[in-house]
C-alpha cells in the first residue's frame, strides 16, 4: 500500500481514527451487554457512551500515542485515554476481556468495511463491462486462439466473458465477507471463564457480525486465508482483462486503446506512441494482491491456543491487499468506461485472411452435399492453402474451382461466408450472462 496506488476511502479504514472508533464501539457495546446481565452498573455503560461516543480526532490520537509510548501496550493506552474522557465509570470498561477480543473483532470489522467498498468497486466494473458489452454486442471481431486467428466473435462477447468472470468474483467475495464477519469476545483462551457468552452475542449483533462459534483468544485464521485467496483470484481476473487490453492496443492490432486525454503525451514526437500503461500497471498490481495469498495460508497454523506470528503479517497484508485491490478495480472500471474501440479495424482484421476462417464451414457444406469427408477435406484444404500463400480471398477461389462447383453453386458458396453464421447465438449467450440480450 503506497499513496500512488491508494484511494482515501480505503486507506481511511486502516487509519488510527477508524481503528480506535471501532475499538470504542466494541468496548461500549460490551459495557451495555455487561450492564444488561448485571455485571456492571447500567449508568456506567451509559456514561461510556455519553462521554466517549465522539470521533477520534488528532488530539485524542496523539494522547493515545503518548500513553502507548509509556505503557508499550496499545489497548491499555486506548482504555486509559477513554478513562480520561469518561471518568470514574471507565473502570468498568474492558472488564473480563482480553486485548485480542478487541483486536481480532476490530480486524474483522475493518475487513468487512473494506469488502463492502470492494463489492461496490466490483459493481462499478460490472456496470462498465455490461454497458460496453451491449454497446458492442454485434461488433464483429476476430476470435483468436493461441494468438492465431480462429473464427469471428463479437467484441460484446469478449466483454461479456469478463463480466461473467467478475460476477463470479463478486459472488466469491460476498461469501468471503461472510467468512470474516465474525466477532470473538471469549477471553484469554476462549473459554468465557471471565465473561459471559452473552456479551459476545450482543456485541456481534450490534456490529453486524456473527459470534465466532469457537475461538481461542484468536479468531481462527483459515477464515482470513480464504478471504485473501478470494482477493487473489479477483486480482488474477484483473490481469486477465488487462492482458486483453494490452493485446488490443498493440501497434499491429490497434483494435482498442486506453483513453488518451487531449493533452496527454505518450512520446515526445511519435504520435502513435500511446502506451497501454493502465493495463500494464494493473498487471503488476494483480501480482501484489496475489502475493498476500501465500502468507495468509501460512498464517493458519498457530501454536496451541494462539501465538502472535500472524499479527505482523496481517498488519501489512490487511491494508496492502485491500487498498491495492480497491485501487486496481477502480482503475480498471475507469479504463473500461473510457476505453476506445475501433470496430472498423476489427472488421478489416476479420476480413484480412480472405475468409479463411470459414474453411471448416465449407468442409461441412461439402459433406452435407454428399461429398465424402476425405474428398471434402482435400478440396477445401487445396483452396485454403492457395488463399493463404497467394493472399487471394478464399471465396473467390472456391467459386472459381470447378471441382467444388460440381457440388455447390456460387450462391451457396457465397452464403458460407456470411458472418451471421458466427454471431447467431450471441443473444443466447448474452441472456445467459446478463439475463437479457
d(CA 36, CA 202): 10
Q: Is 322 in the site for a second copy (CB under 8 A)?
A: no
> Which residue's CB is nearer to a second copy, number 54 or number 150?
150
Give the interface segment with a second copy, choosing from 19-27, 51-59, 163-171, 404-412 (CB under 8 A).
163-171
Q: How far is Cα 151 from Cα 416, in angstroms, rounded to an integer?
A: 13
Told to check if 9 binds a second copy by CB under 8 A, we report no
Collapse the DSSP code of 341 into the 3-class scheme (helix H, G, I; strand E, B; otherwise coil) and give the result.
strand
Residue number, 76 or 414, with CB nearest to a second copy: 76
Residue 179: exposed, middle, or buried by beta-carbon count in 10 A (0-12, 13-18, 19+)? middle
Applying CB under 8 A, the span of 61-69, 119-127, 336-344, 428-436 interacting with a second copy comes to: 428-436
d(CA 106, CA 1): 20
Could you tell me the three cell numbers for 385? 492453402
C-alpha cell at 139: 461488433
Binds a second copy (CB under 8 A): choice among 11, 120, 138, 281? 281
In angstroms, what is the minimal distance from the CB of 296 to a second copy? 9
Active site residue 309: no
- x-or-dash string of contact with a second copy, 297-316, rule CB under 8 A: xxxxxxxxxxxxxxxxx-xx
> Taking CB under 8 A as the rule, does residue 340 contact a second copy?
no
Binders of a second copy among 200-239, rule CB under 8 A?
A: 211, 213-214, 216-217, 220, 222-223, 225-226, 229-230, 232-233, 235-237, 239
Comparing C-alpha atoms, which of 217, 207, 195, 204 is closest to residue 95? Answer: 195
Q: Is 19 in the site for a second copy (CB under 8 A)?
A: no
Maximum C-alpha span of the chain: 104
Residues 346-365 that bind a second copy (CB under 8 A): 349, 353, 356-357, 359-364
Residues in 87-126 that interact with a second copy by CB under 8 A:
91
Q: Is 174 a catalytic residue?
A: no
- Is 174 near a second copy (CB under 8 A)? no
273 binds a second copy (CB under 8 A): yes
Report the C-alpha gap between 18 and 426 in whole angstroms.
48
Task: Give the interface segment with a second copy, choosing from 24-32, 108-116, 265-273, 401-409 (CB under 8 A).
Answer: 265-273
Q: Where are the alpha helices (DSSP H) in 16-89?
A: 16-36, 42-52, 58-71, 74-86
Provide the 8-state DSSP code for 89: G
Q: CB of 118 within 8 A of CB of 79? A: no
Which residues form the catalytic set? Answer: 146, 267
Amino acid at each position: 500500500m503506497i499513496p500512488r496506488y491508494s484511494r482515501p476511502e480505503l486507506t481511511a479504514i486502516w487509519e488510527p481514527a477508524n481503528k480506535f472508533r471501532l475499538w470504542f464501539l466494541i468496548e461500549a457495546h460490551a459495557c451495555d451487554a455487561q450492564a444488561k446481565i448485571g455485571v456492571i452498573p447500567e449508568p456506567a455503560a451509559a456514561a461510556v457512551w455519553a462521554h466517549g461516543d465522539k470521533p477520534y480526532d488528532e488530539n485524542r490520537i496523539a494522547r493515545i500515542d503518548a500513553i502507548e509510548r509509556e505503557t508499550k501496550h496499545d489497548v491499555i493506552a486506548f482504555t486509559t485515554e477513554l478513562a480520561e474522557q469518561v471518568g470514574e465509570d471507565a473502570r468498568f470498561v474492558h472488564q473480563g476481556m482480553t486485548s485480542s477480543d478487541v483486536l481480532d473483532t476490530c480486524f474483522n470489522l475493518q475487513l468487512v468495511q473494506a469488502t463492502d467498498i470492494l463489492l461496490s468497486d466490483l459493481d462499478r466494473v460490472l456496470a462498465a463491462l455490461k454497458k460496453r458489452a451491449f454497446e458492442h454486442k454485434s461488433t464483429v471481431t476476430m476470435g483468436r486462439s493461441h494468438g492465431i486467428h480462429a473464427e469471428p466473435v463479437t467484441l460484446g462477447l469478449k466483454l461479456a466473458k469478463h463480466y461473467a468472470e467478475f460476477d463470479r468474483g463478486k459472488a466469491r467475495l460476498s461469501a468471503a465477507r461472510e467468512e470474516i464477519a465474525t466477532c470473538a469476545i471469549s477471553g484469554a483462551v476462549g473459554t468465557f471463564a471471565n465473561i459471559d457468552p452473552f456479551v459476545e452475542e450482543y456485541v456481534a449483533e450490534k456490529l453486524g457480525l456473527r459470534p465466532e462459534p469457537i475461538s481461542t483468544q484468536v479468531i481462527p485464521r483459515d477464515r482470513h486465508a480464504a478471504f485473501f485467496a478470494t482477493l487473489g483470484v479477483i486480482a488474477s481476473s484483473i490481469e486477465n482483462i488487462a492482458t486483453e487490453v494490452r493485446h488490443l492496443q498493440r501497434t499491429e492490432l490497434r483494435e482498442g486503446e486506453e483513453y488518451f486525454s487531449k493533452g496527454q503525451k505518450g512520446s515526445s514526437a511519435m504520435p502513435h506512441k500511446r502506451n497501454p500503461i493502465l493495463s500494464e500497471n494493473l498487471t503488476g498490481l494483480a501480482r501484489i494482491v496475489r502475493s498476500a495469498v501465500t502468507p495468509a495460508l501460512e498464517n493458519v497454523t498457530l501454536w496451541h491456543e494462539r501465538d502472535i506470528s500472524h499479527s505482523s503479517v496481517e498488519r501489512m497484508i490487511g491494508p496492502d491487499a485491500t487498498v491495492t485491490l480497491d485501487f486496481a478495480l477502480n482503475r480498471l472500471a475507469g479504463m473500461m468506461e473510457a476505453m476506445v474501440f475501433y470496430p472498423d479495424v476489427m472488421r478489416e482484421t476479420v476480413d484480412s485472411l480472405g475468409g479463411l476462417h470459414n474453411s471448416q464451414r465449407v468442409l461441412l457444406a461439402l459433406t452435407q452435399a454428399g461429398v465424402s469427408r476425405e474428398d471434402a477435406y482435400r478440396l477445401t484444404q487445396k483452396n485454403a492453402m492457395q488463399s493463404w500463400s497467394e493472399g487471394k480471398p478464399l471465396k473467390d477461389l472456391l467459386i472459381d474451382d470447378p471441382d467444388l462447383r460440381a457440388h455447390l453453386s456460387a450462391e451457396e458458396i457465397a452464403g458460407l461466408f456470411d458472418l451471421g453464421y458466427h454471431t447467431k447465438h450471441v443473444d443466447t449467450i448474452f441472456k445467459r450472462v446478463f439475463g437479457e440480450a
